[in-house]
Amino acid sequence: MKCKKCGYDSKKTKQKFNILLCDVCFHFSPNEKTVFDKYVAEEIDASALETLRTYYINFKEKQKQGMIQKAVKGNLMSRAPFGYKISGGKLILAENFKEVEEIFEEFLNEEKSLRSLAEKHKLSVNGLKKILRNFTYIGKIKFNNQIYEGEHGPLISTTLFNHVQNKLEKLGIK
């Protein structure tokens, strides 16, 4: 669909006063009908808007990133995972941080039941399972089913984490 003002062939045109506009023209279009008509009447060449278009796409992408980061932070704020604590809006190591690696190693290398491992670390079985699956421990953050790079330091290696995920899967632990 071609933008009525600049002629840009946009996949995502938007309508205003029944007129199709591209993202950029839509963004800058006035809200008052008479001014809007004048705005559209002043046609412009799509190439003149190229820089603006790139900038606008980057801007929207950044906005999205910012929103995700805020949401992720909001999530973190509610409760720090085992081994971390929250300080100044950031995840930092808690006193018990070394226990996290122990838990992962023990689960991987010792033939212990989840129950006895949980008891040893004063956790519930569900709490233990959550820890074993938590991407936070490799410095990432899971949000909306997507994995993002976190701003905090990891507590265990990705290799250890992946081995544990394999074992969980093999044992059919959900």
CB of 39 to Zn ion, least distance (A): 11
CB of 64 to Zn ion, least distance (A): 21
CB of 32 to Zn ion, least distance (A): 19
Nearer to Zn ion, 22 or 100 (CB): 22
Contacts of 27 (CB under 8 A, 6+ apart): 56
Nearer to Zn ion, 55 or 66 (CB): 55
Nearer to Zn ion, 4 or 152 (CB): 4
- Within 88-147, the residues that bind Zn ion by CB under 5 A are none
CB of 22 to Zn ion, least distance (A): 3
Do residues 91 and 76 touch, judged by C-beta distance below 8 A?
Answer: yes
11 DSSP assignment: S
Nearer to Zn ion, 43 or 61 (CB): 43
- Within 1-40, the residues that bind Zn ion by CB under 5 A are 3, 5-6, 8, 22, 25
| Concatenated DSSP letters of 28-96 | H--SSHHHHHHHHHS---GGGGHHHHHHHHHHHHHHHHHHHHHHHHHHHHH---TTEEEETTEEEE-TT
Nearer to Zn ion, 19 or 22 (CB): 22
Token representation of residue 16: 């205003």
| Whole-number Å distance between alpha carbons of 164 and 94 | 22
Q: What are φ and ψ of residue 2, in 5° steps?
A: -95, 140
CB of 3 to Zn ion, least distance (A): 3
- Interacting residues with Zn ion (CB under 5 A): 3, 5-6, 8, 22, 25
